[in-house]
Amino acid sequence: MPAVSKGDGMRGLAVFISDIRNCKSKEAEIKRINKELANIRSKFKGDKALDGYSKKKYVCKLLFIFLLGHDIDFGHMEAVNLLSSNKYTEKQIGYLFISVLVNSNSELIRLINNGIKNDLSSRNPTFMCLALHCIANVGSREMAEAFAGEIPRILVAGDTMDSVKQSAALCLLRLYKTSPDLVLMGEWTSRVVHLLNDQHMGVVTAAISLITCLSQKNPDEFKTCVSLAVSRLSRIVSSASTDLQDYTYYFVPAPWLSCKLLRLLQCYPPPEDGAVKGRLVECLETILNKAQEPPKSKKVQHSNAKNAILFEAIALIIHYDSEPNLLVRACNQLGQFLQHRETNLRYLALESMCTLASSEFSHEAVKTHIETVINALKTERDVSVRQRAADLLYAMCDRSNAKQIVAEMLSYLETADYSIREEMVLKVAILAEKYAVDYSWYVDTILNLIRIAGDYVSEEVWYRVIQIVINRDDVQGYAAKTVFEALQAPACHENMVKVGGYILGEFGNLIAGDPRSSPLVQFNLLHSKFHLCSVPTRALLLSAYIKFINLFPETKSTIQEVLRSDSQIRNSDVELQQRAVEYLKLSSIASTDVLATVLEEMPPFPERESSILAKLKKKKGPGAVSSTEQEDGKREGGELNGGGERGADSTIAASNASTPSPSADLLGLRSSGPVSAAPPSAGSLLVDVFSEAGPAAPAAAVNDDGFLSSAPPSVVSEDPAPPMPQSDELLHKFVCKSNGVLFENQLLQIGVKSEYRQNLGRMYLFYGNKTSVQFVSFSTSVTYTGELQSHIHELSLNVQTKPVEPLVEGGAQVQQVINIECLTDFSDAPLLNIKFRYGGALQNLTLKLPVTVNKFFQPTEMVSHDFFQRWKQLSQPQQEAQKIFKASHGMDKEVLKGKRIMENFVCAGVIQTKAQQVGCLLRLEPNAQAQMYRLTLRSSKDTVSKRLCDLLAEQF
Amino acid sequence: MMRFMLLFSRQGKLRLQKWYTATAERDKKKMVRELMQVVLARKPKMCSFLEWRDLKIVYKRYASLYFCCAVEEQDNELITLEVIHRFVELLDKYFGSVCELDIIFNFEKAYFILDEFLMGGEIQDTSKKSVLKAIEQADLLQEVCDVHLGLL
């Protein structure tokens, strides 16, 4: 290629660019641009027809102005003229302009599509490529509609030039990504897969991106690609570095293609065919071996290309998670990189090890690198690398090294970058909770967190420590002593005052025996912090004071004096003033007994998913915390938090210290009586602990006036799409599950969280925009189908939705709350219709809301004798429903919890509806030999038996 | 898949931008501004990868120009780094010791070269020969510019 030579290049353009560059100020630049725009406009409007060259020059100038960041609203027509020209350079500029300045004017699009159509059928490969590029660049729905049918034909036709095939493959990929419904592979599938065998490496490189994307969406149809990919990979890996000529990059044979092949294989489980698998394992071993060989070149490009393949191979090994030998080798290799002089490699090694840590085969091997990782956390100069080190420490943490890791993370926190402190605090809090063997260590750790990084300790963290102290009576005395000591510091963080106030208010009596922490000393210590604190903390302290009056009658007069002082009882803050007045009155008029009842110690908190873990998940975005980790969190959390009924929520609200009136009610009277109005900040304090998991239904019933009203739901939908074919399957997924992903496509992900109590349910839907473009006119509605609709006056379900924001930003998530009341039993699920506009196109989808009658089940304890007696009582034929079916998940896992009698599983429960309670009995008889089940349901209502039987039969 | 590629100078002037997903102009400007700030603030020996929003950013500096790619979560960082390098090599071969000015004055050529190399955010061909052969079609070349700083 000659160095750039002058020819009849666009001199005018060069002059213009120089002019712009010589402008001394922004104003001068704008002036020059406006002058040029006026000039171009007059040329385009002039009577004299412009020749191709001038048109090209002016269109290029417009493009340049646009790329400088100015708006351009004309020139499209001239660009379309250019792309219809027969001169290559003119065509090229025309296409470039259209690609960069996409315009949705339909007349224009018709003209552009016309030009593209001509070029595609021109049989001139360079013209065809330009047209394909333009389609891929614009990628609009209109283009997909016009060309999605044609491009697969071009891609697989025998006489298509290689370069055109490459463009066609990637063009098709782009259309598939934007409009998957319009790209129908069907008959082309096998020919597309066989492009992996193409002689031309460029064609394979381009085609594999398409095949990978198609395989992710339709794994079964494309599974033949696995053996082809393995043999292609094997040929590349075993080739000498010179074999592949132009596709060898710095002595590495076809690194891009190798990476893509390894990525494609990650769409599938390990090959079942022994020979294929053997060949693949050989490839992976060769790649690992090559990493140990001396480099063939000192250039960084050589090592980057080689290591790119290595990391992709390790990703595949981790994906398979079945070859212990390879996993350990991968871990050792990454271990070497941890100390490599290239920052990039250290970063990637830390990142990759994070996933290795979650494999049971390599977890121990990862742990051996703990010292190196701790060192990285301390010494790396780049914050993004330190962040990775912190992530890895978190991932490799288990019971054996928790104390060390938590200590290191705490000490790092003192100097950590502000940007990662909050996340570090969450991680330390989670690890401390998850691996706490003795709770004094846990309490120490959290208090240290508050001491070191108080500003970054979010509410969830200190709520959680209080939750745990309340639930574990063996740690309460220690906690009281420790906070008391921590509060001695002359300057302590406000969060420390909050925790201290709360814990001393509850458990101060446990340390009051010691004269150094007598009641008055405790009170004076707390009160010495009072004036430095914000209003919510002061409110909390006032609640602690009234609790003190109950715990220590001797402090009554001192505290009453404080409450009576003008700075409290006449405080300008209405919340503080109200508390002071109410607490003062309460302490003077209530008898000791009443006081003791009202201010009783907090009951244990109900068991929930740790709110901190939920917060970390939210921070990291969905999917960032692996599902095993979530389960771990639940399991470990359960251990720690011991017991606690779900229903305890209501008691909390009732006996909450800050709800002064003992008659504070759960029946919706809260807003009527001024005395019983709970101070909002502290009153909701403890309920907030669970806000990540959502308040329980009864609490909701209090707060939400509309919840119990029986007004029929508003049905707002013009013409919602019919329910999607897979909606039944999606529904069945949720029969035994209350949280998860309800639906996902390329644009949207819908997550569900739900909880039920008696005949009430509350469901949280999370709509996540997976694209980077905002959804507009986003709306959802819930409607009924079939049976429910025909009995419109006898609704079975009362479903109330709260409206969602009409705008969903790219990457953002919006939440919607749905309240459900079960009036009578039902069979059909309500339909959820979602409508929004994505890039102008209306998306309309309808799903079944995962509400099934079994959600309103309440389990009943029953001895076997009672069970069979009732079973016999329900012996009328219409009370029974039975199904015999094949086990679809194998027999070892039992979904049902029940009492085991011989070979049978039985369960008893009550379906709670507003109209009536329906007792149900269930019997499951497995036949291991035939891998069949017989499921029998008996209940007092025939429709219930039938529906439950249908629902549960799908679950085995 | 690559979401976008940006070329900008040390002074924060955007020289080339290529977007592989439909993005509103307003968002593009915001993202460019934000990302330039993040990347320009980094020191020379720092790692070439960083997490930004839900994307991975891979960048490398050649002389006065930063080449910055945004790729998705599952993409390979190192190979993306070599995508950048191969693109620089292509520019260098085409312009003959390419410099920032070449890209300013011949921005349309830079776009053509990039289009031949990457399409829809994926690699179309990695062979230098194939890519440059495609570019040869356009034989009307632009004027030489005087300064060659040499990016390589």
Contact A249 B140 (CB under 8 A): no
| The pLDDT of residue A918 is above 90 | no
- What does R_g of chain B's alpha carbons equal in angstroms? 15
Q: What is the pLDDT of residues A225-274, one digit of tens each?
A: 999 999 999 999 988 766 678 899 999 999 999 999 999 999 999 999 99
Least Cα distance to A862 among A905, A907, A897 occurs for: A907
| The pLDDT of residue A863 is above 70 | yes
* A700 neighbors A819 (Cβ within 8 angstroms): yes
Least Cα distance to A117 among A83, A93, A89 occurs for: A83
Mean pLDDT, residues B17-28: 90
Contact B125 A206 (CB under 8 A): yes
Q: What is the pLDDT of residues A812-852, one digit of tens each?
A: 888 888 888 888 888 778 888 888 888 777 888 888 888 88
**Secondary structure in 3-state letters for A9-27:** CCHHHHHHHHHHHHCCCHH
Higher pLDDT, A105 or A555: A555
| Binding residue ranges of A | 11-12, 43, 53, 57-61
| Res A794: pLDDT | 55
**Which of A17, A21, A209 lies at the smallest CB-CB distance from B122?**
A209
Q: Which of A4, A96, A343, A619 to mutate to test the interface with B (most CBs of B within 10 A)?
A: A4
Least confident span in A130-134, A343-347, B41-45: B41-45
Angle at A385 between CA A380 and CA A389, to 5 degrees: 90
| The pLDDT of residue A139 is above 70 | yes
| The pLDDT of residue A707 is above 80 | no
Nearest chain A alpha carbon to B132: A1
Contact B78 A382 (CB under 8 A): no
Q: What is the pLDDT of residues A103-121, one digit of tens each?
A: 667 778 888 999 999 999 9
What's the gap in Å between the CA of A882 and the closest CA on chain B? Answer: 47
> In B, which residues are within 8 Å of A247 by CB distance?
126-127
What amino acid is encoded at A587 in this protein?
S
Mean pLDDT, residues A463-473: 88
Contact A308 B79 (CB under 8 A): yes
> In B, which residues are within 8 Å of A26 by CB distance?
none
Higher pLDDT, A898 or A749: A749
What's the gap in Å between the CA of B66 and the closest CA on chain A? Answer: 17
**What is the helix, strand, coil percentage profile of chain A, to 5?**
55, 10, 30
What amino acid is encoded at A142 in this protein?
E
Highest mean pLDDT among A261-270, A469-478, B14-23: A261-270
| The pLDDT of residue A50 is above 70 | yes
Nearest chain B alpha carbon to A346: B47
The percent of residues in chain A predicted with pLDDT above 90, rounded, is 39
What is the pLDDT confidence band of residue A6, given thresholds at 50, 70 and 90? very low
Average pLDDT, chain B: 87
Q: What is the pLDDT of residues A272-304, one digit of tens each?
A: 999 999 999 999 999 999 999 999 999 999 999
Q: What is the pLDDT of residues A25-37, one digit of tens each?
A: 999 999 999 999 9
What is the pLDDT confidence band of residue A314, given thresholds at 50, 70 and 90? very high
Mean pLDDT, residues A879-902: 60
| Res A791: pLDDT | 46
Widest CA span in chain B? 42
State how far the Cα of A610 lies from the Cα of A251, in Å rounded to an integer. Answer: 51
Least confident span in A61-65, A373-377, A427-431, A928-932: A928-932
**Which of B17, B106, B119 lies at the smallest CB-CB distance from A170?**
B119
Contact A7 B93 (CB under 8 A): no
Widest CA span in chain A? 103
Q: What is the pLDDT of residues A718-733, one digit of tens each?
A: 466 666 767 777 777 7
| Res A408: pLDDT | 92
* A200 neighbors A162 (Cβ within 8 angstroms): yes
| The pLDDT of residue A65 is above 80 | yes
**Which of B14, B93, B140 lies at the smallest CB-CB distance from A1?**
B93
3-state DSSP call for residue A79? helix
First to last CA, chain B: 26
What's the gap in Å between the CA of B32 and the closest CA on chain A? Answer: 11
Least confident span in A450-464, A632-646, B70-84, B133-147: A632-646
DSSP run (H or E) holding A492 = none
Contact A811 B45 (CB under 8 A): no
What is the pLDDT confidence band of residue A784, given thresholds at 50, 70 and 90? low
> In B, which residues are within 8 Å of A249 by CB distance?
82, 86, 126
What's the gap in Å between the CA of B60 and the closest CA on chain A? Answer: 11
State how far the Cα of A400 lies from the Cα of A926, in Å rounded to an integer. Answer: 41
* B134 neighbors A163 (Cβ within 8 angstroms): yes
| The pLDDT of residue A883 is above 50 | yes
Angle at A852 between CA A846 and CA A853, to 5 degrees: 150
Q: What is the pLDDT of residues B135-148, one digit of tens each?
A: 775 543 333 222 33
Nearest chain B alpha carbon to A16: B105
State how far the Cα of A776 lies from the Cα of A809, in Å rounded to an integer. Answer: 8
Mean pLDDT, residues A194-217: 94
Mean pLDDT, residues A660-674: 32
| The pLDDT of residue A619 is above 70 | no
> In B, which residues are within 8 Å of A5 by CB distance?
141, 144
State how far the Cα of A529 lies from the Cα of A534, in Å rounded to an integer. Answer: 10
> Residues with Cβ < 8 Å from A413, sequence gap 6 or more?
A421, A424, A425, A428, A449, A452, A453
**Which of B24, B85, B128 lies at the smallest CB-CB distance from A246?**
B128
Contact B120 A139 (CB under 8 A): yes
Contact A9 B137 (CB under 8 A): no
> In A, which residues are within 8 Å of B122 by CB distance?
170, 173, 206, 209
Q: Which of A199, A212, A772 to mutate to test the interface with B (most CBs of B within 10 A)?
A: A772
For residue A640, report the phi and psi dihedrals to the nearest 5 degrees: -75, -35
Angle at A171 between CA A168 and CA A176, to 5 degrees: 120
For residue A734, report the phi and psi dihedrals to the nearest 5 degrees: -100, 5
Nearest chain A alpha carbon to B102: A4
| The pLDDT of residue A628 is above 80 | no
Nearest chain A alpha carbon to B13: A68
* B57 neighbors B50 (Cβ within 8 angstroms): yes
Token look-up 């333009």 returns A134
Instruction: Supply A8's token pair.
Output: 């009849």
DSSP state of A158: T
DSSP run (H or E) holding B12 = none
For residue A934, report the phi and psi dihedrals to the nearest 5 degrees: -120, 125
What's the gap in Å between the CA of B138 and the closest CA on chain A? Answer: 6
| Res A241: pLDDT | 60
What's the gap in Å between the CA of A738 and the closest CA on chain B? Answer: 27
Nearest chain B alpha carbon to A381: B46
For residue A892, report the phi and psi dihedrals to the nearest 5 degrees: -75, -30
> In A, which residues are within 8 Å of B45 by CB distance?
343, 381-382
State how far the Cα of A156 lies from the Cα of A160, in Å rounded to an integer. Answer: 8
> In B, which residues are within 8 Å of A774 by CB distance?
24
| The pLDDT of residue A97 is above 70 | yes
Higher pLDDT, A943 or A398: A398
| The pLDDT of residue A207 is above 80 | yes
What's the gap in Å between the CA of A897 and the closest CA on chain B? Answer: 39
**Which of B51, B95, B129 lies at the smallest CB-CB distance from A4?**
B95
What is the pLDDT confidence band of residue A667, given thresholds at 50, 70 and 90? very low
What amino acid is encoded at B11 in this protein?
Q
Least confident span in A122-131, A828-837, B69-78, B103-112: A828-837
**Which of A93, A174, A247 lies at the smallest CB-CB distance from B126?**
A247
**Which of A11, A301, A839 lies at the smallest CB-CB distance from B22?**
A839
What's the gap in Å between the CA of A1 and the closest CA on chain B? Answer: 6
What amino acid is encoded at A69 in this protein?
G
Nearest chain B alpha carbon to A173: B120
* A605 neighbors A641 (Cβ within 8 angstroms): yes
State how far the Cα of B73 lies from the Cα of B55, in Å rounded to an integer. Answer: 6
DSSP run (H or E) holding B119 = strand B118-119
Contact A170 B54 (CB under 8 A): no
Contact A3 B96 (CB under 8 A): yes
Contact B22 A92 (CB under 8 A): no
Mean pLDDT, residues A675-687: 35
| Displacement of CA A199 from its chain's centroid (Å) | 42
User: Quick one: CA dihedral B34, B36, B37, B42, positive or negative?
Assistant: positive
Q: Is A95 exposed, middle or buried (0-12, 13-18, 19+ CB in 10 A)?
A: buried
What is the pLDDT confidence band of residue A936, given thresholds at 50, 70 and 90? confident
User: Quick one: CA dihedral A69, A73, A78, A82, positive or negative?
Assistant: positive
| Res A673: pLDDT | 33
DSSP run (H or E) holding A496 = helix A494-507
Mean pLDDT, residues A399-421: 89
| The pLDDT of residue A622 is above 50 | no
Token look-up 């309103």 returns A856
| Res B35: pLDDT | 96
| Res A388: pLDDT | 92
Count Cβ–Cβ pairs < 8 Å, chain A vs chain B.
211
Contact A621 B29 (CB under 8 A): no
Q: Which of B43, B84, B99, B126 to mutate to test the interface with A (most CBs of A within 10 A)?
A: B126
Mean pLDDT, residues B29-39: 95
Token look-up 């991932």 returns A395
State how far the Cα of A694 lies from the Cα of A403, in Å rounded to an integer. Answer: 32
**Which of B96, B115, B137 lies at the smallest CB-CB distance from A4?**
B96
Contact B81 A206 (CB under 8 A): no
| Res A5: pLDDT | 40
| The pLDDT of residue A608 is above 70 | no
